[in-house]
């Protein structure tokens, strides 16, 4: 495998709720209007300290996308996905961006987000509006 180098972020950052590994800066959030199977999710321009799974095509609320699952390098838990290819022209802005499920995050203030029975659970994964 090799040596693991973990990036430590400065400023307001989100981290893995399980192991507190830094994942993304709050300034890199593109949208907080995304949803996953477990509730809300955030779209980021850039994330760190993740490993990527295999590419696969997924039918989402906004159409077909080629995505890869993202895993925290600290604890190995799945935290979200990265858009590789959007098959519809209107969704091309997502390419190269990453979605992290909110309940997998510890916020910049150290707070944890939990799956709530009051949040809508959507069968697919995608944004309501951006």
Sequential DSSP letters for 37-96 = TTEEEEEES---SEEEEEEEEEEETTEEEEEEEEEETTT--EEEEEEEEESSGGGGGGTT
> What pLDDT does residue 56 have?
97
> What pLDDT does residue 129 have?
38
- Lowest mean pLDDT across 12-16, 95-99, 107-111, 126-130: 126-130
The pLDDT tens digits for 14-68 are 999 999 999 999 999 999 999 888 899 999 999 999 999 999 999 998 999 999 9
- This prediction has a pTM of 0.83
> What pLDDT does residue 2 have?
64
- Domains assigned to the chain: 13-116 (2.170.150.20)
């Amino acid at each position: 495998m090799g040596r693991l180098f973990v990036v430590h972020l400065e400023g307001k950052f989100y981290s893995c709720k399980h192991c507190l590994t830094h994942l993304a800066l709050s300034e890199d959030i593109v949208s907080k209007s995304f949803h996953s199977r477990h509730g809300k999710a955030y779209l980021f321009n850039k994330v760190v300290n993740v490993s990527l799974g295999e590419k696969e095509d997924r039918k989402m609320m906004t159409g077909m996308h080629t995505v890869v699952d993202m895993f925290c390098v600290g604890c190995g838990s799945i935290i979200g996905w990265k858009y590789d290819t959007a098959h519809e022209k209107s969704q091309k802005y997502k390419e190269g961006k990453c979605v992290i499920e909110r309940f997998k995050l510890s916020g910049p203030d150290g707070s944890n987000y939990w799956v709530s029975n009051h949040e809508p659970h959507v069968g697919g994964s995608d944004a309501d509006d951006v």
